[in-house]
Chains A and B, each alone.
Chain A
Amino acid sequence: MDSERIWILIARKKAGEASPQELAELESLQGNTAYSSEIMDKIWDSPLHSFPEMKVGSGHWDRLEKRLDQPLIKKISSGIWWAAAACLLGIGFSWFVWIHPFDEKTDHSLTSSLNTVTTKPASKVKQQLPDGTQVWLNGNSQLTYSTADFGKTKREVVLTGEAFFDVVRNEKVPFIIHAINVNITVKGTAFNVKAYPRQKNVETSLIRGLIEITTKQDPERKIIVKPNEKIIIPEVENEKSVPVPDNSQALYSIARLQKDDHQVIAETAWMQSRLEFDNEPFEQIAPKMDSWYSVSIHFTDSAIAARRFSFVIEKESLQQTLEALKLSSPFNYQIKGSEIWISKK
């Protein structure tokens, strides 16, 4: 008991918190065990440094200074203006406009001189945009952007399908992605967007940086996505459907991205040129195949989900891969659109 008390008193003394009574108490407790606190004194007087060094980023003051001159609208420069204005999900009206760029309601700058990159199923393309931003476009996807003023006053792209973006930082010109029913606005960051029209959700996985998404029916609610998080926003097929009630809770969900033993994140596995599995259970393989082939694999039998496989996918189609897996360990599969059901033989 006393041995704890003495440390509390020593700490109080060093922190300048000790009362005269406490100092006296400390004296008496130390009694005949006089010790030199010389080292502790030096330690106390020596500043602490952190590793890694924790400092604000280089442009931080400039950003702050800019905000000083602005009217008192909270966070105008950093948080909200670039923050994602994702019009969301649930009520997917605006997406309809965006994926039909020639619709009259479309922003004019997008229709002026459009450049469109399209990929066939199971092919991938890497594209550099005029501002230096790198885009990896997955199979069966389309990316459209205006070449005329891209990077000058606007950086906007329209995406259907799946792409990974590594956006060049530019505070002045926010980068905006229109993906089905979601708009994502960013400063500089790397993330994956999966927005295939037939799938039920728009998924955005953030690797680094920060993006903020708002929904059209609830623009006050800002959804922030942090590194290693995935936000899943359900797509509502019928834009004329019942308005979502104000207190709707399940408009979106956030999940953490998981790395497997090989440091591969399932959501971005498709960017690699090959997929390797080394004695992994089927249920862990499935998310990466989902991402690779843009499908979703479901198991109706947990024993099959637990089976382990080792194989490599390079150019093989989904059917070829499933057939090969069947040979090593029998099961049945059914393909319904982009949904794959795997069941017992």
Chain B
Amino acid sequence: MQNNLKSVKDLKEIQRRLAMNDPAALRQLYEIFSNKLFQFAHALLRSRELAEEVVEDVFIQVWKKSQRISGLENLSFYLYTCTRNFCYNYHRKYHRNRPLNIDEVELPYYKIEASAEELMIVNDLLQQFHAALNTLPPKCRLIFKLVKEEGLKYREVAELLGISEKTVESQMGIAFKRISQSIPFRINPTRDGSRIR
């Protein structure tokens, strides 16, 4: 499920080395997370420059608090939370009157790595899938990305975005429905041949 996330064991090892102030461990963590956190910060702040600053801040924080971090169960969630907090700080600082709105996050266009051949579908269908994915409302797409790609739990995503777990659940349902319907499922020959709407 957590496709390109390093295994929990690897992260634990990095946490242990961080606690001993090993700069190579920080670099390793940076390699794994910098772009992910950057994308998340960019979605919230809509600014390359600010998002880069936020990611710097997050890693500086990790470095300064490496002792505390060594005991964390879920480093990934911690890093996202940190990123969220720094984003909120920046936003508060520069846009006093405008609350950060999760409904207005800005996301790039997403594509999956697998080719049409690998999925055993024709190219048109893959394009339909991409269209379905990318026309999801931004909030929905962000939730889908965080659950699918970062392996965050519903509870964690809810906390991260300041929404209810119910919202995460229903948005994930919407994402699955829209995406699935863009690619007609292969229906096994069943008694009545009905298909899921």
A positions within 8 Å CB-CB of B: 3-4, 6-8, 10-12, 14-17, 30, 32-40, 42-52, 54-57, 60-61, 63-64, 67-68, 72, 75, 78-79, 209-210, 222-224, 226-227
Q: How many A-B residue pairs have CB under 8 A?
A: 175
Known contacts A34-B190, A47-B4; decide if A4 and B180 are in contact (CB<8 Å).
Answer: no
Interface contact A57-B177, CB-CB below 8 Å: no
Contact of B148 among A8, A48, A75 (CB under 8 A): A48
Interface contact B190-A7, CB-CB below 8 Å: no
Q: Say if the beta carbon of B9 comes within 8 Å of chain A.
A: no
Residue of B nearest to A44 (CB): B148
Q: How far, in whole Å, are A57 and B42 apart by their CA atoms in the complex? A: 13
Query: Could you give, for residues 156-197 of chain B, a 1 whenever the CB lies within 8 Å of some chain A CB and a 0 otherwise?
Result: 000000000000011011111101100101111011101111
Known contacts A12-B172, A44-B1, A60-B52; decide if A72 and B109 are in contact (CB<8 Å).
Answer: no
Contact of A34 among B154, B174, B176, B188 (CB under 8 A): B188
Given the complex, which residues of A lie within 8 Å of B64, measured CB to CB? 72
Q: How far, in whole Å, are A50 and B111 apart by their CA atoms in the complex? A: 6
Distance from A235 Cβ to chain B, minimum over Cβ atoms (Å): 23
Known contacts A17-B153, A51-B108; decide if A67 and B60 are in contact (CB<8 Å).
Answer: yes
Q: How large is the interface on B (under 10, 10 to 19, 20 to 34, 35 or more residues)?
A: 35 or more
Known contacts A36-B188, A64-B56; decide if A49 and B110 are in contact (CB<8 Å).
Answer: yes
Contact of A56 among B4, B38, B180, B190 (CB under 8 A): B38
Q: How far, in whole Å, are A270 and B183 apart by their CA atoms in the complex? A: 52
Q: Say if the beta carbon of B100 comes within 8 Å of chain A.
A: no
B positions within 8 Å CB-CB of A: 1, 3-4, 23, 26-27, 30, 34-35, 38-39, 42, 47-50, 52-53, 55-57, 59-60, 63-64, 93-94, 107-114, 118-121, 129, 145, 147-149, 153-154, 169-170, 172-177, 179-180, 183, 185-188, 190-192, 194-197
Given the complex, which residues of A lie within 8 Å of B1, measured CB to CB? 14-16, 44-45
Q: How far, in whole Å, are A30 and B180 apart by their CA atoms in the complex? A: 15
Residue of A nearest to B115 (CB): A46
Contact of B59 among A15, A64, A224 (CB under 8 A): A64
Q: How far, in whole Å, are A17 and B146 apart by their CA atoms in the complex? A: 14
Interface contact A47-B53, CB-CB below 8 Å: no
Given A3-B196, A7-B173, A12-B169, 12 other A-B residues pairs in contact with their CB atoms under 8 A: A4-B177, A12-B172, A15-B147, A15-B148, A39-B183, A40-B180, A43-B129, A48-B145, A50-B109, A54-B42, A56-B55, A79-B53
Given the complex, which residues of B lie within 8 Å of A16, measured CB to CB? 1
Distance from A317 Cβ to chain B, minimum over Cβ atoms (Å): 40
Given the complex, which residues of B lie within 8 Å of A38, measured CB to CB? 120, 186
Q: How far, in whole Å, are A227 and B51 apart by their CA atoms in the complex? A: 14
Given the complex, which residues of A lie within 8 Å of B47, measured CB to CB? 210, 226-227
Interface contact B185-A55, CB-CB below 8 Å: no
Known contacts A7-B173, A15-B172; decide if A39 and B185 are in contact (CB<8 Å).
Answer: yes
Interface contact B63-A68, CB-CB below 8 Å: yes
Interface contact A35-B118, CB-CB below 8 Å: no
Residue of A nearest to B121 (CB): A39
Interface contact B118-A42, CB-CB below 8 Å: yes
Residue of B nearest to A68 (CB): B63
- Please list 10 pairs of residues, one from A and one from B, whose beta carbons are closer than 8 Å in the complex, sorted by A's number: A7-B177, A8-B169, A14-B176, A35-B188, A46-B118, A47-B4, A47-B113, A60-B56, A223-B94, A224-B94
Given the complex, which residues of B lie within 8 Å of A51, measured CB to CB? 108-111
Distance from B47 Cβ to chain A, minimum over Cβ atoms (Å): 6
Distance from B19 Cβ to chain A, minimum over Cβ atoms (Å): 16
> Which residue among A30, A33, A61, A63 has the maximum number of chain B CB atoms within 10 Å of its CB?
A33
Q: How far, in whole Å, are A288 and B49 apart by their CA atoms in the complex? A: 29
Given the complex, which residues of B lie within 8 Å of A11, measured CB to CB? 169, 172-173, 175-176
Given the complex, which residues of A lie within 8 Å of B185, measured CB to CB? 35-37, 39-40
Contact of B112 among A6, A8, A49, A56 (CB under 8 A): A49
Q: How far, in whole Å, are A267 and B129 apart by their CA atoms in the complex? A: 42
Interface contact B34-A56, CB-CB below 8 Å: yes
Contact of A17 among B154, B190, B191, B192 (CB under 8 A): B154
Distance from A318 Cβ to chain B, minimum over Cβ atoms (Å): 37
> Which residue among A11, A42, A72, A210 has the maximum number of chain B CB atoms within 10 Å of its CB?
A11
Which 10 pairs of residues, A with B, have the shortest CB-CB distance? A8-B173, A46-B114, A11-B172, A210-B49, A50-B108, A7-B177, A7-B173, A46-B112, A35-B185, A11-B176
